[in-house]
Chains A and B, each alone.
Chain A
């Protein structure tokens, strides 16, 4: 390892100290330096292409109606206006949609955590008759495409009189947690057995063990489940599209549709992009805040059998 590092004489910090992989390149430092510049350039172009639609959405949402339709391209609004946001709220019940998106996302997240954490604990640390079979049944739900269950679930939900209500969206989407159960189980399996034994010696019941020892120790994994469930629920489209027909009962993701149905109203693009910005903001903020957490859970829990 020492000999390797001597062959990179630039003295530049190639990364975390002591990591051999940093010295994989034994080629000329010049060449590897140039290579890195090229990589950076390629990635920057890619990042630009990725970010541009976001930028364009936000830029349009601050433009006056007449500037939206200029012949030439105005990257930034020449006289920025906030008008599109209140306009969007008056054209369509965007406030109701926001509230519905928020309520449904929060309650779905809560429900998913409440059912997946105990199940993950049971499947990772408890022995009981049929445990392997039942766990396989949980995992097998991952290969059932959502669309396959849509018709019978719609029939059920409408028979129950749930249409146009939050429960109609929330309850049927709760069992889609196999991946979270899997993630949480991986995380619980990494806890040292001594930790659980210690609780047992103390005479703790299984429930106590879960509540007082397991839960506090897998908090990062639970946080990831919370984030991913929230994102999933905030963004879900097909199911709320089917069960929320009332204009005011819709969510942001499904309500946006009305703007596209009214594109003949030329001045709609500004308010439409304003609504899209509102719908995109919470998930983007959440991700920006929690990206390290998400990544580290994927690394430590591992996508392994």
Chain B
């Protein structure tokens, strides 16, 4: 089929779905039938996998959350709402909740607004030759594994031999036990998370800024608008879809993302100061084999995520301008 090459020259068809020439010997009705089920065949692999590995586990988590089970025992014991009502009495759960909150309030602004500010800062020098070098460097932490990033930082944070403390003691500052002090450990993880994710959102914002049509900017600048006014009243409103996308995905994934860093750097310690609800679920399920408790937490995480997403669509999305 040579058509793919000179695609534009082909005459438009008045009836796209009915082929005028049938090359196969199959009957018309067979053709209609096979074409009718083709869409379903095309989406079937994806939908079957989604059903088995995303929707079914979701439903099964709800089911398991009402049972006491340790994964090994053949029978599950129905316990009603016990797995849920017990959670507030578990001090480890409450500390995990507190950690979740700290990660959330620290990292959502850092991951949503910092790269936006940076993208705006970089805008005036976008045409400079150094620009793509900057972009490559700033984006590089995004492409490596969280666990590898955490290992790199484990070495930097090392209390005795780590370069950070060597630098600090060089300036006469006392040595800090970054990862074993309950006041600093969570901030060490937040530093790693910031370092790790800054570049991706920066890239999205920069791409969005570049996609803003020039005619709007031209019109405004002819009207005497200043740089800042153009950024605020034209460019920013036009990149709000990207802003919204970044906001929603960050809110969903921020606590999920730090899991690797927590597991490598602190294992949730010291004194559970760096744990969060995701890490708590992991420990309940895979260290203590409390399948019911882990599932109850899974249900809570899912409902909280759904609620947060709904709230954002309800209250933030109305300010989004879809170009």
Interface residues of A (CB under 8 A from B): 1, 4, 13-16, 19-26, 32, 35-36, 39-40, 42-43, 46-47, 49-51, 53-54, 56-57, 60, 68-69, 71-73, 114-116, 118-119, 121-123, 126-128, 131, 134, 137-138, 141-156, 171-172, 174-177, 181, 192-208, 210, 212-213, 216-217, 231, 234-238, 241-242, 252-254, 256-257, 259-260, 269, 272-273, 276, 279-280, 283-284, 286-288, 291, 294-295, 298-299, 302-305
* Cβ contact of B38, chosen from A15, A206, A236, cutoff 8 A: A206
B173 partner residues in chain A, CB cutoff 8 A: none
B42 partner residues in chain A, CB cutoff 8 A: 118-119, 121-122, 126, 206, 210
B288 partner residues in chain A, CB cutoff 8 A: none
* Cβ contact of B161, chosen from A68, A141, A156, A272, cutoff 8 A: A68
Known contacts A35-B124, A152-B60, A203-B19: does B145 contact A237 (CB below 8 Å)? yes
Extra inter-chain contacts (12) besides given A213-B3, A298-B204, A303-B204, CB under 8 Å: A36-B125, A46-B118, A69-B161, A127-B39, A149-B58, A151-B298, A195-B10, A201-B13, A206-B38, A235-B148, A283-B145, A303-B241
Specify the main secondary structure of chain A where it touches its partner.
helix
A126–B302 CB distance below 8 A: no
B218–A14 CB distance below 8 A: no
Whole-angstrom distance between the alpha carbons of A20 and B230 in the complex? Answer: 12
B1–A39 CB distance below 8 A: no
A238 partner residues in chain B, CB cutoff 8 A: 259-260, 282
In the assembled complex, B8 has its CB within 8 A of some CB on chain A: yes
CB closest chain-A residue, reference B219:
A20
B221–A260 CB distance below 8 A: no
A198–B10 CB distance below 8 A: yes
Chain B interface residue bracket vs A: 35 or more
B285–A151 CB distance below 8 A: yes
6 contacts between A and B (CB under 8 A): A26-B226, A73-B167, A138-B46, A148-B61, A238-B259, A287-B136
A202 partner residues in chain B, CB cutoff 8 A: 1, 3, 19, 21
A280–B155 CB distance below 8 A: no
Interface positions, chain B 16-30, Cβ under 8 Å from A, are 16-17, 19-23
Q: How far is the CB of A215 from chain B (nearest CB, A)?
A: 10
In the assembled complex, B316 has its CB within 8 A of some CB on chain A: no
Known contacts A122-B42, A242-B286: does B125 contact A235 (CB below 8 Å)? no
Known contacts A14-B127, A35-B124, A210-B42: does B137 contact A56 (CB below 8 Å)? no
B155–A269 CB distance below 8 A: yes
B35–A43 CB distance below 8 A: no
A174–B49 CB distance below 8 A: yes
Whole-angstrom distance between the alpha carbons of A116 and B298 in the complex? Answer: 27
B22–A235 CB distance below 8 A: no
